[in-house]
Structure 1
Amino acid sequence: MEKQFETLQISYDETLLEIASVQKKMTDVIEKLGKRTTSELQIMFTRINETCKNEMQCHTEINQRYKLLQRGIECIKQENKQLVFILCKKYDTLSEETDSLYERKDNRDINFRFQYEASMLQLVSELSSLGKIQTYRNNPNQVIKVSDMTEHNIRVYPDSGDSNKATIIGICELADGEFIIADSFNKKVKLLDDSFNVVSHLSFPSTPRQMCNVSAYSVALIFDDRDLNFIRVNRQRIMVERIITFEHFCHGIGYHNNDIFVTDAKTIYCYSIEGQCKHKISLAQGMLLRCL
């Protein structure tokens, strides 16, 4: 019965993470649409604003030319008919430019108005929830079969030092649907998006041995020396939160109820998440290589 309660709690926690992941994806889509619409408004404003500034500059220049012509007309004598004729022609030309400027009405009295997508808002408002919550029973006799298999290129380009070969010793799914994999051959941790493209990576001096989830966006990774790295993913960026160095070698790692289980060849160690050893179990014979 205790095992059933534990399984139920795990299923509940995982479902909560799935709901939060869908909610985040919807929020990201709305945010992207908002940024795109805001950018469109900014482009329109910049274009119209620049046109208005140019028209104002033209008005200022025409006014200055009118003043210069007026002064010229006042200063010349009437008997200088040739000069009067030239000034009059310039005046006529300036008048035509003024009329043409005032006839431009494309950018006058313009205001902005946002017409939102009512159909999208109506669709969301008509939804009663993000999805249906269903229950199912586990079948202990169920046989798991591979229904499909695809290949993906996880090599990091360019000049990353990645070879054509990769040895994946661990893969963990994060709450947002991304995957973090440990490549022991290239001594790297790589982050894959939901389309299995490498979007980030982190190199290490030692060889990774095994990896497990510890939270929605964190994993624990052990190396072939004595180090345990807690790795967190934030906005497609991989970072090492902290490192615990043990007095024994590390072969396998597992996580359960806020406890870390680490194995060397002969012993299983139980540590708190802070790195304090709580207890250990030694084997009389055989070898321990991994935690499951």
Structure 2
Amino acid sequence: MPRCNLPELKTRNNDIYIRYRVYAFFTGNAASVRLISEVTEDLKTSNLTNITYDITAIIQLINKLQTDRVANIRTLQNSYENILAELVIMQQKINDAYDKLEKNTIEKLNSLRIELSDSIQVDINKCMKQADEMKSLNDIVQEIVQKDESLSFIAHQKCCKELSASNELEKEREVHEYLMKLDIRPDILHLVSSLSSLGESAQYNPNKIIKASSNMTTITPKVQKDSSECSIRGICLFANNTTVLVDRDNKKIKLLDKELNVIFYLHLSTFAWDLSQVSFDEVAVTIDNDKIHGVEFFLIKNGSILKKMALYFPHRCRGVTFSMSYLYITSGNALYQYSMTGQQLKKLYEDTAREFTVYKTAICVGKIYVTNSSHHKLITLAMDGTLLSTFTDQELIGPKDVHVTFAGQVLVCGQDSNTILQIDGDGQRETYNIGD
């Protein structure tokens, strides 16, 4: 019921002022006026427990909001620092690409220089030889003239022939003067100059709910030479809408077009367990059996797959994630950080309770998400391997994979529960069940 304070009410009765402070209560067009003492009496007799409880709850919510926003300042700073680190890596890649172009250009220039120098040296040798022959001929002519005039005709013919050869050399010198030039591609500088930045800055909310489309298509990327049903253990989508996946049981890496038809495949040396995109045209694939434990790298170009190189390790290789120029490889019960040359930098985390306690990983904004398939958990680690949180839910059974979208949403797949759950950025609570 609305309430308002009225000013003091003054009445004159026998020249005496009587003052009352009153409250007015309005209900529709009707109003009732009560003394404040009556209202106070009502408050004394009412139970204030519910009000106290509400105030306490609101204070807790406010404190939680404040704590979350303070934490968001830290994660915002982390995302900023990660982007700066990515820019450093991009700069290094651009420098490496430029160094490669410069090296190739210099090699071609040097090859041309050597070719032309050799040609010029041939001319120099001809000149030296011709000069020596002309000097010798001159000496012979002088001797003939002094001793035997009958041989002058023969000497004359010989001199004319040598002089003609010398004239030909002079003409070649005029025609074959070699210089070099380089037609620098203007489109390279134009492209770089036309860019205003290295990317578009944008904000994102890792807790924004992903709504699954009801229009779902089931595909089976099976090829004629597959001996088993497809067992897809890793998949990624490239910018040109082609898809690359690894089929463990058939020991193949497959390339699909935008209609999701298999257009190319390559046999692997053994079982494939995971896949991670390394660059715009390269993927890393974990291969593993009782004897071989490694990561193979493949180039995806012009509708085909080419093997680039392989690294081998002393432990099992299950999951792989590429981030910030490092490889993060799981063995099933441990997470390792490696350089791209295969040097182990650190064992970040370990859980030896079961075989698949450290199975697949995903990385975003200073956090590493790890699936513990054996114990039905999603584990969140700091980049140094410190345990931050553990998530469990009755709808998450046998989590086999975890993925972070470009917008930072964390998705975890429960194989045995046939569910995909969206987890908050801290990896502590479910935000949405995308589908089962």
TM-score range, shorter chain: 0.5 to 0.7
Cα gap change, 1:93 to 1:117, in 2 (>3 Å): same
Instruction: Give 1:117 shift.
Output: 3.9
Contact kept? 1:259, 1:270, Cα under 8 Å: yes
- Taking structure 1 as reference, are residues 6 and 171 closer, same or farther at Cα in structure 2, changes over 3 Å only? farther
For 2:343, what is the secondary structure of its paired residue? Answer: strand
In structure 1, what is the Cα distance between the partners aligned to 2:108 and 2:102?
10
Q: Give the 5 Å matches for 1:255-270.
A: 257=366
RMSD: 4.5
Q: Which residue of 1 aligns with 2:311?
A: 202
- Equivalent position amino acid for 2:309 in 1: S
The structure with more radius of gyration:
2
Q: TM-score, normalized by length of structure 1?
A: 0.67
Query: Counterpart in 2 of 1:153?
Result: 265
Aligned with 1:239: secondary structure?
coil
Counterpart of 1:121 (choices 178, 184, 189) is 189
Match of 1:230 among 333, 337, 341: 337
Distance 1:107 1:155, change over 3 A: same
Distance (Å, rounded) in 2 between the aligned partners of 1:188 and 1:91: 77
Q: Which of 152, 163, 188 does residue 294 from structure 2 map onto?
A: 188
Aligned-partner Cα distance in 2 for 1:274–1:210: 18
Task: Determine which of 133, 142, 148 is the counterpart of 2:211.
Answer: 142
The answer as to whether partners of 1:229 and 1:240 remain within 8 angstroms in 2 is no
Compute the displacement of 1:272 (Å): 8.6
The answer to whether the 8 Å contact 1:265/1:288 transfers is yes
What displacement does 1:175 show? 6.4
Q: Is the 2:89–2:324 Cα contact (8 Å) retained in structure 1? A: no
> Residue 201 of structure 1: SS of its match in structure 2?
strand
What does the per-residue CA deviation read over 1:1-29, in whole Å, with 9 as the maximum and x for residues that have no partner? 25655664565456446655655555455
Q: Would the alpha carbon gap of residues 240 and 176 (structure 1) be closer, same or farther in structure 2, given more than 3 Å must change?
A: farther
* Larger displacement relative to structure 2 (96-105 or 8-17): 8-17
After TM superposition, give the deviation of residue 101 of structure 1 in Å: 0.7
CA distance in 1, matches of 2:388, 2:194: 54
The alpha-carbon distance between structure 1 residues 273 and 125, as it changes in their structure 2 partners (threshold 3 A), is closer
When normalised by structure 2's length, the TM-score is 0.48
Distance 1:26 1:217, change over 3 A: closer
- Contact 2:334–2:351 (Cα < 8 Å) also in 1: no
| Alignment correspondent of 1:251 | 356
How far residue 242 of structure 1 moved from its aligned partner, in angstroms, is 4.6
Identity of matched residues, %: 16
For residues 241 and 154 of structure 1, do their structure 2 counterparts lie closer, same or farther at Cα, with a shift above 3 Å needed? farther
- C-alpha contact 1:21 1:176 (8 A) present in aligned 2: no
Gaps of 5+ in 2: 1-67, 218-240, 244-255, 257-261, 403-436
Q: Mean alpha-carbon deviation: is it higher for 37-46 or for 142-151?
A: 142-151
Q: 1:241 to 1:45 in 2, by over 3 A?
A: same
Q: Which residue in the other structure is 2:134 paired with?
A: 66
Which has more strand, going by share of residues? 2
After superposition, the C-alpha distances for 1:53-78 in whole angstroms (9 at most, x for unaligned) are 12221121112112222222233366
**Native 8 Å contact 1:51 1:107 kept in 2:** no
How many residue pairs end up in the alignment? 273
Q: How does 1:271-290 map to 2 (within 5 A)?
A: none
Deviation at 1:259, TM superposition (A): 7.8
Q: Displacement, 1:50?
A: 1.7
Structure 2 residue identity aligned to 1:208: C
Match of 2:344 in 1: 241
Q: 3-state SS of the aligned residue for 1:180? A: strand
Give per-residue Cα distances to partners, 1:173-209, cap 9 Å, x unaligned: 3467643221234633112345464311123465423
Q: 1:198 to 1:231 in 2, by over 3 A?
A: farther
Aligned 8 A contact 2:284 2:296 in 1: yes
1:130–1:65 distance in 2 versus 1, CA, 3 Å? same
